[in-house]
Amino acid sequence: MPSTSDELPPTLGAVPKPGRRWYRLLLVLPFLWCIAAVPWAGHVPYAFGHVPFLLVWMVAGVLIGSAAIGVVYLLDARHGHLEEA
């Protein structure tokens, strides 16, 4: 029986199986980085060439947060948990 243009191939129309998504806990890292450790980081005097350590800490937090979001996105894509737009 020929396939019509309205039908999707089995791989594209398949619904991913629900499973544990433990890797989404990585999204807690930026929160902990900013909330839990900033009081400690605020007391470190200076870092690199008269730049306040808190500024370096927050920029590193942005980079770590972006990396965590990227890893979760890649793992979601690998496991088929992304919605098609």
In this predicted structure, the answer to whether residue 31 has a pLDDT above a threshold of 80 is yes
Please indicate, yes or no, if residue 13 is contained in any of the structural domains.
no
Tens of pLDDT, residue by residue over 7-23, are 555 555 555 555 677 77
Q: Residue 28 is which amino acid?
A: V
Structural domain tally of the chain? 1
Structure confidence at residue 67 (pLDDT): 93
- Residue 43 sits in which domain range? 27-79
pTM passes above 0.85: no
- Residues 35-47, mean pLDDT to the nearest whole number: 79
Q: What angle do CA 83, 32, 49 make, to 5 degrees?
A: 115
Residue 64 lies in a domain: yes
Would you place residue 66 in the very low, low, confident or very high pLDDT band (cuts 50, 70, 90)? Answer: very high
Top-confidence residue, 70 or 43: 70
Alpha helices in the chain (DSSP H): 10-13, 28-35, 38-41, 53-79
Q: Is residue 1 included in any domain, yes or no?
A: no
